[in-house]
Homo-oligomer: A and B are copies of this chain.
Amino acid sequence: MYNFKNDYSEGAHPRILDKLIETNLVQQSGYGEDEYAQQAKAILKERLNNPDAGIYFVSGGTQTNLLVISFLLRVHEAVISAKTGHIAANETGAIEATGHKVITTETADGKLRPEDIANVLEAYALAPHVVKPRIVYISNSTEIGTIYTRDELKALFQFCQSHHLLLYLDGARLGHALTAENSDLTLAAISEYTDVFYIGGTKNGALLGEAIIFNKPELAIDFDYAIKQKGAMLAKGRILSIQFLELFKDDLYFDLAQQANALAMRIASAVREKGYTFLTESTTNQLFPILPKKVIERLSQHYQFYNWKNIDDEHTAIRLITSWATDEEKVEAFIRDLQEA
């Protein structure tokens, strides 16, 4: 059985493990004050073209989302998300547990546009009997594999700025988004067109770790208190900073994502050649092909994946995910099995 269920089935890229071993007995300050953190932040600020960015390393995506959102909202404020957004669909009410409503809006492709936000603002106009929208939460790539273009992100950011809204981007799979063939965004552009975002490590080669970036440093004042309070400050913060130091000291982060995308695109081509369609137009490492149930049954004898959505009596959309660690030969085998199924 080979696992296409997710992009966290394996450990870390070997270079990261090597670095952990190499630095293992060097004494370092705890709680994020280690030298590797300083080095990793310096490198990231350059990539972001933002020397003033506030950068923090924590261990996971749900943790990041609840930290950032609860830190930036006041008691009566809320966050807007696509209904498919991770904070709305997959985080066990983590945001609500910090006291805030997640306002959801239906989308066709998992992406929010200015008109979606305008509709929410209109629906939430009856102050003070409704919460006050304050943050717009988006994911890039989205939970269904789609990505934002530079123009889309810029338009959304400008809308937010003109409506006293903060734009926060969940980059759990940011590498895959930025290296997608149809992407025209860069880390620097993301830093320019969002207020806060995070760069996901866990799903792209790290053992664990996400890098939170406050593009406007004034938003980050006192954020370290929140990290400690929510239990997200590792005593051995060095573990987290080493992940990002290694991923970004050259192009490893992007190379790994591109590799995952490329394998996904090979599968996508095979799906299309076979005449099947997709639930969403993904150009990243998550694919949602709609396959005959009989085909799915045969594939599931050798491969693990999620049955995502029942389409009709004879078809289901499945979810296939590739990663930096995906075995190319298994992809080839999967394609052959698909062709023969």
- Residue contact A75 to B97, C-beta cutoff 8 Å: yes
Q: Apart from A91-B228, A127-B224, what are 9 other A-B pairs with CB-CB below 8 Å?
A: A3-B27, A9-B29, A21-B21, A64-B231, A93-B131, A127-B225, A131-B229, A208-B239, A230-B230
Residue in B23, B127, B130, B208 whose beta carbon sits within 8 Å of that of A11 in the complex: B23
Residue of A3, A26, A222 with most chain B CB atoms under a 10 A cut-off? A222
Give the docked Cα–Cα distance between A6 and B234 (Å).
Answer: 13
Name the CB-closest residue of B to A127: B225
Could you say which residues of chain B place their CB within 8 Å of the CB of A234?
Answer: 59-60, 202, 208
User: Is the Cβ of B225 less than 8 Å from the Cβ of A92?
Assistant: yes
> What is the CA–CA distance of A8 and B235 in the complex, to the nearest angstrom?
6
Pairs across A and B, CB under 8 Å, 6 listed = A9-B30, A10-B28, A11-B24, A92-B129, A92-B229, A202-B235
Give bound CA distance, A245 to B220, whole Å. Answer: 38
Q: Interface digits, A41-76 against B, CB 8 Å rule (1 contact, 0 not)?
A: 000000000000000000111111111001100111
Instruction: Indicate whether A207 reaches chain B with its CB closer than 8 angstroms.
Output: yes
**Is A120 an interface residue when CB atoms closer than 8 A count as contact?**
no
Task: Give chain B nearest CB distance to A232 CB in angstroms.
Answer: 7
In the complex, A236 has a CB within 8 A of chain B: yes
Q: Pick the interface stretch among A12-20, A138-146, A250-258, A285-293.
A: A12-20
B236→A11 contact, CB < 8 A: yes
Q: How far is the CA of A11 from the CA of B66 in the complex (A)?
A: 28
Given contacts A9-B28, A24-B12, A62-B233, contact A226 B17 (CB under 8 A): no
Residues of B within 8 A of A40 (CB): none
Q: Tell whether A203 is near chain B: CB-to-CB under 8 Å.
A: yes
Q: Which residues of B contact A23 (CB under 8 A)?
A: 11
Chain B's closest residue to A28 (CB) is B9
Among residues of B, the one whose C-beta sits closest to the C-beta of A86 is B129
CA of A225 to CA of B235 in the docked complex: distance in angstroms? 24
CA distance A61 to B60 in the complex (A): 16
B9 lies within 8 A of A27 (CB): yes
A78–B60 CB distance below 8 A = no
User: CA of A15 to CA of B5 in the docked complex: distance in angstroms?
Assistant: 30
- Kindly supply a per-residue 1/0 record for chain A positions 194-211, scoring 1 wherever the CB is within 8 Å of any chain B CB and 0 otherwise: 000000001100011000
A2 within 8 A of B: yes
**Top 10 A-B residue pairs of the complex, sorted by shortest distance between their CB atoms:** A63-B231, A76-B225, A11-B24, A8-B235, A92-B229, A93-B101, A93-B131, A128-B224, A128-B225, A9-B27
A6 CB contacts on chain B under 8 angstroms: 30, 235
Chain B residues closer than 8 Å to A92, beta-carbon distance: 76, 128-131, 225, 228-229
Most chain B C-beta atoms within 10 Å of own C-beta, residue among A14, A131, A228, A239 = A228
Contacts of A96 in B (CB 8 A): 78, 96, 99-101, 131
Asked if A176 is at the interface (CB within 8 A of a chain B CB), the reply is: no
